[in-house]
Each structure stands twice: as structure tokens, then as C-alpha cells.
Amino acid sequence: MAATSTTEIWDAAWTLTMRAKRKELTDNFFDAYPTLDMFRSGGALITDNGGKEIQADLMYSGNSAQYFSGYDVLNTDAVDGITAAFFPFRYAAVPITINYTEEMENRKSDSAMKLLAAKTEQSMLTLRDQINSSIYSAQTGKAPLGFQDIVADAPGTSPTTLGGITVSSNTWWKNKSNNATSDTSFQTIVNTNFYEGMVRMSTLWNDVSEGNEQPTNIFTTNGIYADYEEIFEGTGYQRLTGKDSPGVDGRLPSFRGIPVQYDRDCGTGRMYFLNTKYLKMHMQAGMNFAKTPFKEPSNQMAKVGFIVVGLQITSNNRRRQGVIYNLND
């Protein structure tokens, strides 16, 4: 029987480390940034079993209904109104490396576990930062879609196609947007004794809402958040929610009952109104922060493995997503 190699021993130690710390590492991944937390806590984190892409079924118009009596002839004509968008999975990997001297210095099992735990946490933080940044960006290269694609400033112009559907010729596939023209802020009061920024917020809220279909989350930049928060100082914070988060008295300012939060990666001058009923983060089963076995490069005294994730951001109703852009930040 062949002797167990040092690579196999480190693989086993890494497996034990991941098993013991998986929940903690996953919690740290999602809890650190409010946008990532939104997907998990809002029920918008979906695990898919296999496949190259996600199919999002879309209903863009209703069927026909009619009142009748007795022997009236009923309409049986088929009505279009259902289609699908397709979003390919994107993949990210971050390395875990152990060189020969580290291996020799950490031969005891407890030392090895501590070293692997530290390196795994470091890599997960790197992966977290990159994914959160991608969420607030436009898709480039092999990255997943971001809010600048799904909740675009100029829907139909950039991007022109999303999920395989041409946006310009399908107005139902456009998100809502509001150009604040750079002079709108939460510091200037208009003649109605209402802050300019709140006028924009009210307009966009109404644009993305219909009946009980209303935004679930509002995200903006740190600067805009600070201006918005300052409006209510000394007024008892009637617009605060009870959720623990940065803000006065550990609570968040809100708008019409929805928390207003800031994310460090939110693009300058932007405020997003999101509805997680129609906005999802998909992760590929088996590539949900999975580890690969360690390999030894032929020209280095080291071992390298990877933490990998397959993911994509999707929407099946862009009309319920909106952005104010060019706010005075």
C-alpha cells in the first residue's frame, strides 16, 4: 500500500478546516456587505443543480378574458406574452498556496489547521470583495452581470441586449431610471419645502411600484447616504427602521418603510431601488465556495488549490428595478 503523500495530508487537513469553518466563512462572506446580505437574507440566493445557464421565465403581457352568458362564443385565440431570458453562469477562483517552508513550519496538525484557516479566510475575503465590486459594475470579460447592466442608467442603450432579448424593441424589458442632472441633492430644499433628492426618490418609487409590488431595498453611496441621514437629525428619526445596522442609534434611515443603506462599491451619484422578488443571485451547486485538491507545480516547492464559485445575477422583471443617477454625491 502506497504511503500517504504530504499533498494528500494537506488536502485532508483543508477538508477538515472547510468543514469546521464553512458556516463562519459563508456568514462572513454575505454579512460584510449589505448588498450581498440582501440576496441571502431576502430569499434571493438560489442554488442551481448543473447547467451552463439560468433560464428566467418572463411574462410581459396577460391573456384575454371576457364576460359571457348562456351560449356566447368564447375567444380561443392563443395570446403571446410569455418568453424567457437566458443568463450564462460565470466562474471565479481564488488560490490557496502553501510553500515548502510553511509546510515544514506547520507540520503539527493544529498548526496546519490554523494556517489553512487563515489562508482560506484571506481568500474568501478577496473573493467577496471582487464579487461585490462586480455587482455594482457593468459586465466586462468573464465577470457576472452587474447592476449597471440589469438596472442600467440608459436602458436599451447600454446594454442593448440582456438575457438574449433586445431591449430597445421590447420596452417591457427596460428597468426604470431617473437622471438627476447633477444638481439634485439632499441638501437643497425646493420651493415646495421638500428636498430635491426626495422628489426624485418619490418619482422613482412610483415608477417601479404597482399595487403591493414595491421596492424591498434601497442602496446608495456613502456620501449620498450621509446627506440623506442628515435630513432627519433632531427630528426623532420617524423614518428609521428597527434593523440593526450603521446609522443613528444603530438603526437605518428609511424611505416609505424601506431601509436606505450604503454600499462602498455603489457607483458615484447613484441610488438603486431594488425588488428581490425579481432580482436573484444564482450559485452553481458543487461550485458554491468549493475547494479543489492541492496540486504541486513542477517548478516550485509549493502546493496550490483553489476556492471556486459559479454565479450570476439575474432578473425576470426589470420594470420593478430602478436607479437614480447623477445625484450630487
Dump pLDDT digits (tens) for 51-61. 899 998 887 66
Residue 65 covered by a domain: no
User: Alpha carbon 14 to chain centroid distance?
Assistant: 28
Q: Is residue 70 part of a domain?
A: no
User: 130, 144 in Cβ contact below 8 A?
Assistant: no
Q: Is the dihedral of CA 40, 43, 44, 50 positive or negative?
A: positive
| Residue at 72 is within a domain | no
Lowest mean pLDDT among 80-89, 164-173, 275-284: 80-89
CA distance 144 to 165: 17
Does 66 fall in a domain? no
Q: Around 254, how many Cα atoms within 13 Å sit in the side-chain half-sphere?
A: 19
Other C-beta atoms closer than 10 Å to the C-beta of 254 total: 21
> What is the widest separation between alpha-carbon atoms in the chain?
89
What's the CA gap between 106 and 112, in Å, rounded?
A: 5
**Cα–Cα distance, 315 to 248 (Å, whole number):** 33
- Grid coordinates belonging to 18: 472547510
pLDDT in tens, 66-77: 777 888 777 766
Identify the three-state secondary structure at position 31. helix
Distance from C-alpha of 255 to C-alpha of 198, rounded to nearest angstrom: 9
Which residues lie closer than 8 Å to 188 by C-beta, 6 or more apart? 195, 196
- Would you say residue 177 lies in a domain? no
| Number of domains making up the chain | 1
Residue 159: is the preceding peptide bond cis (ω within 30°)? yes
219 domain-assigned: yes
Cα four-point dihedral sign 316, 167, 209, 274: positive
- Kindly indicate the confidence band of residue 146, based on its pLDDT and cuts at 50, 70 and 90: very high
pLDDT at 4 over 60: no
When comparing pLDDT for 182 and 239, which is higher? Answer: 182
Q: Given CA atoms 30, 33, 36, 41 in this order, what sign does their dihedral have?
A: positive
Residue 211 lies in a domain: yes
Average model confidence (pLDDT) across the chain: 84
Q: How distant, in Å, are the alpha carbons of 83, 92, 159 from that of 62?
A: 12, 39, 26
Of the segments 191-205, 211-225, 293-307, which one has the largest average pLDDT value? 211-225
Banded pLDDT at 249 (limits 50, 70, 90) = very low
| Percent of the chain at pLDDT exceeding 90 | 43
Q: Crossing angle for the helix pair 34-41 and 6-31, nearest 10 degrees? A: 90
Domain residue limits at 114? 6-57+84-171+183-325
Query: Over 90: is that where the pLDDT of 193 sits?
Result: no
Residue 286 lies in a domain: yes
Q: Nearest Cα to 182, choosing from 69, 16, 325, 78?
A: 325
pLDDT at residue 217 above 50? Answer: yes
